Every structure is written in C-alpha cells, then in structure tokens.
C-alpha cells in the first residue's frame, strides 16, 4: 500500500517541527493557548447548562447534571428518537438517555392504546386526553420512580406554544397519575387494569381536569 500525499505532508511537517526547536516551541505555545481558551469556553457552557437545569429541577444530583451537560457525541439511537414534535427539553433527555427514552416511548404507546380502546372518539383537552396523561404518568412512575418520571413528564409540557389552560390541565392530571401509582406501589397492588378503572372513576368524580367535556365515560375499562 502506498503512502498518501497527506501522510507525506504530515511526516515532513513533524520532522521540521522536531528539527527546529523555536518553531516547535511556538507551535506548542499556540496550541496550548487555543486548547486553554477552548477548555474555558467549554467549561462556561457546562456551567450555564447546569444552572439552567438546576433552576428547573433543584433536586437533580451531580450525576444527572454530568450526563446532561458534559460534551457528548450524538448516538444513532438518540438521533433516531428525535422525531418531530418533541420539545427541546425532551430532545435533551433523549440525547442523554436514549435507552431510557425507549422505555418512555413504549409506555406512551401503551397509554395511548388503552385510551383509544376506552375512548374511540378522541380529541384534545377532553376526557380521553386527561385519561391518557393519567395513565402515562402512572406507568412512568412505576418504571422510573417519581422524580425520574417527572423529568420526562415536565419536559413534555415545556411547549412554548401551548396555552396555559391546557398546560395546567396536563400538569394536574400527571400529578394525580403519579400519586395514584405511588399509592398502588406502596400497597403492592399496582395493576394496569385497576389503574385504568381508577382513571375512569376519577374522571366521573371530576378529580381529573378536563378543559373540554365532550365524551361519554365508560363504566368499566376495557
């Protein structure tokens, strides 16, 4: 195999630097200065990143901040999961935790399927929407724990274009779903069928917020 022109140029440049102490020293000094400046700029970015996350989630541990703010290459899986519709914060979480994000997506699909089965005529901000948020937040809480689940749930609501009335509805129903899951887990009684029936009962009791009441609430979950 022959040596490429690029390789020859590199070798000649290296030999020249080795034979000329002044040039070598000047190059080293210049390289060090650039590296130091780059390191300082990167450190500042990490500090700003950490401050941003802490302002939103004060209980984040150092390891969580490290994963979110350290420079990292985008993985193929992380890129694949960044489908349209994710909020910027959701994209951050997908990049940081691509495999965990797959679990989140799987549970989202499970909640959506159960909602479609119980409310075939779905809409926005109606009973089906409240039911879906209740189920998804409960499933995430069981799978990831309350604090971890809340990261994904809150990130999902960080949509600058969503009206505050709709956002408050989602936050409330997520909170109720998390509380229901925690109680069921503490009593060793977590069961998806029971969870669905609980969600329907809470809808009938007006414990879940519904902005636009339009659907008939089933008596028993499918």
The reply to whether 176 and 133 lie within a common domain is yes
Mean pLDDT for the stretch of residues 76-86: 53
Q: Which domain holds residue 138?
A: 76-204
The reply to whether 105 and 196 lie within a common domain is yes
Which pLDDT belongs to residue 46?
72
The reply to whether 93 and 196 lie within a common domain is yes
The verdict on residue 216 lying in a domain is: no
The verdict on residue 218 lying in a domain is: no
Share of the chain above pLDDT 70, in %: 66
Which pLDDT belongs to residue 24?
43
The reply to whether 92 and 198 lie within a common domain is yes
Number of domain units in the chain: 2
Which pLDDT belongs to residue 203?
98
pLDDT digits (tens, 9 = 90+) for 144-203: 999 999 999 999 888 777 788 999 999 999 999 999 999 999 999 999 999 999 999 999
The reply to whether 36 and 133 lie within a common domain is no
The reply to whether 103 and 198 lie within a common domain is yes
The reply to whether 98 and 191 lie within a common domain is yes
Q: Which of 128, 112, 110, 106 is nearest to 199 (CA)?
A: 128
Lowest mean pLDDT among 9-23, 52-66, 75-89, 200-214: 9-23
Mean pLDDT for the stretch of residues 55-66: 65
Mean pLDDT for the stretch of residues 131-148: 97
Top mean-pLDDT range of 39-48, 83-92, 184-193: 184-193
The reply to whether 175 and 138 lie within a common domain is yes
The overall average pLDDT reported for the chain is 78
The reply to whether 101 and 10 lie within a common domain is no
Mean pLDDT for the stretch of residues 5-20: 41
């Amino acid at each position: 195999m022959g040596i490429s022109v690029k390789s020859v140029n590199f070798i000649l440049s290296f030999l020249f630097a080795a034979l000329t102490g002044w040039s070598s020293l000047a190059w080293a000094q210049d390289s060090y200065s650039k590296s130091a400046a780059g390191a300082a700029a990167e450190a500042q970015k990490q500090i700003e990143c950490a401050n941003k996350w802490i302002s939103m989630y004060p209980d984040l541990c150092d390891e969580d901040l490290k994963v979110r703010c350290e420079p990292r290459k985008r993985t193929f899986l992380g890129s694949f999961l960044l489908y349209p519709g994710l909020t910027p914060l959701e994209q951050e979480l997908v990049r940081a935790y691509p495999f965990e994000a797959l679990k989140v997506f799987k549970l989202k699909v499970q909640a959506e399927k159960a909602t479609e089965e119980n409310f075939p005529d779905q809409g926005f901000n109606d009973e089906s929407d409240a039911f879906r948020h209740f189920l998804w937040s409960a499933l995430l809480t069981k799978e990831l724990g309350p604090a971890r689940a809340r990261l994904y749930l809150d990130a999902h609501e960080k949509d600058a274009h969503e009206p505050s009335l709709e956002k408050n509805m989602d936050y409330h129903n997520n909170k109720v779903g998390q509380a229901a899951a925690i109680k069921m887990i503490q009593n060793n009684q977590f069961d998806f069928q029971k969870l669905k029936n609980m969600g329907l009962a809470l809808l009938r009791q007006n414990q879940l917020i519904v902005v636009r009441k339009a659907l008939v609430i089933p008596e028993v979950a499918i």
